[in-house]
Amino acid sequence: MIQGLAPEIVLDLSESQPIVLTGDRLLAAEAMQLLMRVDLEILEARAQWNQDWFRRLMRIRPRAVSRLRRRWAKLYPPPAIPLGSLRRRYHANLAEYLYQPT
């Protein structure tokens, strides 16, 4: 047992069964991973001030969002958590996008 933690907080994960996704749930999970990867790459492109990379990713993103929405809509039973808004602001000029005067 880990010292300093109450016994009810420590979980033995060695006995838990892995969750296996199949069919539509697997496709929805893959679509969500794709969108998360694209969003991560967008953050990296912004951090590196690479406008070309940023523009290309922002052109790809709507297709990844529509793929996720389509896969999410096919899930039965529907997930307990709604998908929510996946909108993202876009401006081709990174400096103007990042540092707009308020």
Q: Which of 1-5, 17-21, 74-78 has the highest mean pLDDT?
A: 74-78
Instruction: Give the residue extent of every domain in the chain.
Output: 21-83
For 43-101, write each residue's pLDDT tens digit.
999 889 888 998 899 999 999 999 999 999 999 999 888 888 888 766 555 555 555 55
pTM of the entire predicted model: 0.71
DSSP the chain: --TTS-TTT---GGGSPPP---HHHHHHHHHHHHHHHHHHHHHHHHHTT-HHHHHHHHHHHHHHHHHHHHHHHT-SSPPSS----------S-HHHHHS---
pLDDT score of 38 more than 50: yes
